[in-house]
Amino acid sequence: MLKPTVGPIIGHTTTNQARIFLRGELQGNAAAFAGIRYRVTDSTQWQKGRFIQLDAKRDMSGVLILDNLSADTDYEYQTGWFSPMNPAHTLESVVELPLQWPRETYRLRTRSSQPLTPRAYILGSCRYLRLTAGIPVLPQLGDRIFASISQLIEGAQPPVSAIMMSGDQIYADDLNLIAPDREYKEFIAKYRAAFSQPHIRRLMSGTSTYMILDDHEIEDNWPARADAFDETLFRNAMAAYETYQASHGPACSLTTNGQVDHSSLKHYWYPFSDGDIEWFVTDSRTRRNLSDDNRQMIDDEQEKALCKWLIESNARVRFVVTSVMLYPDRKINSEDAWGGFPEQRLRLLEFIRRHRIRNVMFISGDVHGSLTARLTHSQDRDFEVHTIVSSPLHNSKLLPYATTSTFILDQPLTRTDTGEYRHELTSQVISQDNFAHMVVEPGHIQVNYHDRDGKHLQTVNIPLR
């Protein structure tokens, strides 16, 4: 067996199941298969291997499913791919082949189901990796922060449950003025390069990673400048996104025989849970309506699903991921974020306030600056939501960092007949490459920001109610 050309990437993980993405390679017309075997860490007996056939329509990639796992348990696994010499081999027959597994062993940990257990997450977004003629330029600059994240995770207590990447995992438009990506092969080349750098590869092979797209997976500020000629661009961008980001996440369901059902992918937003903590990851990019009479950041179906989740969830903390910021608004270009959709934003805030939903935290990226902020209501002391922003993992020298002066902070977010929504920063604005290490304790959330070398920048404590 050969090592994966991309991956392995641990995706959606529960108390008893894990999804693992990898890519092989096309070798003429020969069929290619991927396999995985696993065991409880430090045990001697491997479980019987699981296999899938790799699909040329998905860039010779696939998602392997491990199930019947035990909760809160460390496992180790080996994985790789191969093309058998006999073209007549099938999924059923390759199981019997005497395979030599790749020597490298990876580790994963399943979720705990225990309530009130402290849980930790890594937050990040906006990782710029420039390609020239398909080759990364100084890739170590865009990869070094992932070595720092891995180092933090190795000694973290409580263990880090997952990484949340909230947008701009690639920059398909890094040469937007000269030759923006339009063809499918150009998009998948970006993903191959971005996800196969050594430090991010090591990180995602051992910690489950959840992803959602933002504009740079498609085109800057999508779809504000889209025209009829961009239909092909969008179709190709989404095909690559579905392969490399959505396939190993909860947006895809599984078939009865334990394989990813790609036909089940009807939308990119998804909820998932981690014990008594729940997440709702919105698609705040591809379902926008920019018409003057019905501006929407998220479509009706998604808004209804989000509100239903908010009111029915019994979680002690509800995290809502929106790749662009809910608040505060930027002084310039606020139309691309929730500031450009004030009616829908107010509708969501009023829903949270009127239903007295507590401990709602909005997770965002996008702005190339990190911060935390608190939102209150002038006439309703019981209302409070927080935003936690982590961006960028690696910036381009062509793009500015956000600073405190970037945001509108001297006036209410919005005014209604029932009072004002008022916001304030609860942290400094970080204007450098960084990531957030977020720990959810029984009584508070601690957000620790670190620079690209892992140096601690600041800590923010958000009380839970």
My answer on whether 200 and 331 are in the same domain is yes
My answer on whether 143 and 269 are in the same domain is yes
Residue 347 lies in a domain: yes
Residue 338 lies in a domain: yes
Which of 77, 109, 141 lies at the terminal end of a domain, its last residue?
109
- CATH code, domain with 207: 3.60.21.70
Q: What is the dihedral of CA 301, 303, 309, 311, to 10 degrees?
A: -130
| Cα–Cα nearest to 237, from 288, 186, 196, 275 | 186
* CA angle (391, 241, 245) in 5-degree steps: 65
My answer on whether 433 and 376 are in the same domain is yes
Sequence-distant (6+) residues with CB within 8 A of 102 are: 1, 2, 3, 78, 79, 80
My answer on whether 304 and 430 are in the same domain is yes
Strand 456-463 relative to strand 61-66, pairing = unpaired
pLDDT tens, position by position, 399-433: 899 999 999 999 999 999 989 999 999 999 999 99
Q: What is the largest CA-CA distance in the chain?
A: 73
Rounded CA separation 458/450 (Å) = 7
What was the pLDDT predicted at 241?
98
Which of 109, 129, 145 lies at the terminal end of a domain, its last residue?
109
Cα dist from 94 to 64, 99, 156, 233, whole Å = 15, 9, 40, 38
Residue 114 lies in a domain: no
My answer on whether 93 and 123 are in the same domain is no
What was the pLDDT predicted at 148?
98
Domain count of the fold of the chain:
2
My answer on whether 92 and 147 are in the same domain is no
- CATH code, domain with 74: 2.60.40.10
My answer on whether 232 and 298 are in the same domain is yes
Residue 165 lies in a domain: yes
My answer on whether 58 and 198 are in the same domain is no
My answer on whether 144 and 166 are in the same domain is yes
Rounded CA separation 268/272 (Å) = 13
Residue 349 lies in a domain: yes
- The pTM score is 0.96
What is the pLDDT tens value at each position of the chain, 465 positions in all?
A: 999 999 999 999 999 999 999 999 988 778 999 999 999 999 999 999 999 999 999 999 999 999 999 999 999 999 999 998 787 788 888 888 888 999 999 999 999 999 999 999 999 999 998 776 667 777 788 899 999 999 999 989 999 999 999 999 999 886 555 556 789 999 999 999 999 999 999 999 999 999 999 999 999 999 998 988 899 999 999 999 999 999 999 999 999 888 999 999 999 999 999 999 999 999 999 999 999 899 999 999 999 999 999 999 999 999 999 999 999 999 998 999 999 999 999 999 999 999 999 999 999 999 999 999 999 999 999 999 999 999 999 998 888 999 999 999 999 999 999 899 999 999 999 999 999 999 999 999 999 999 999 999 999 999 999
Sequence-distant (6+) residues with CB within 8 A of 39 are: 45, 46, 47, 75, 76, 77
Residue 1 lies in a domain: no
Which of 109, 143, 177 lies at the terminal end of a domain, its last residue?
109
What was the pLDDT predicted at 13?
98
Q: Kind and range of the H or E element at 187? A: helix 184-195
What was the pLDDT predicted at 175?
57
Residue 15 lies in a domain: yes
Residue 449 lies in a domain: yes
> Can you point out the beta strands (E) in 256-413?
260-261, 270-274, 277-281, 317-321, 360-364, 371-377, 380-389
My answer on whether 216 and 84 are in the same domain is no
My answer on whether 314 and 186 are in the same domain is yes
pLDDT tens, position by position, 157-178: 999 999 999 999 999 886 555 5
My answer on whether 184 and 259 are in the same domain is yes
The domain of 59 spans 6-109
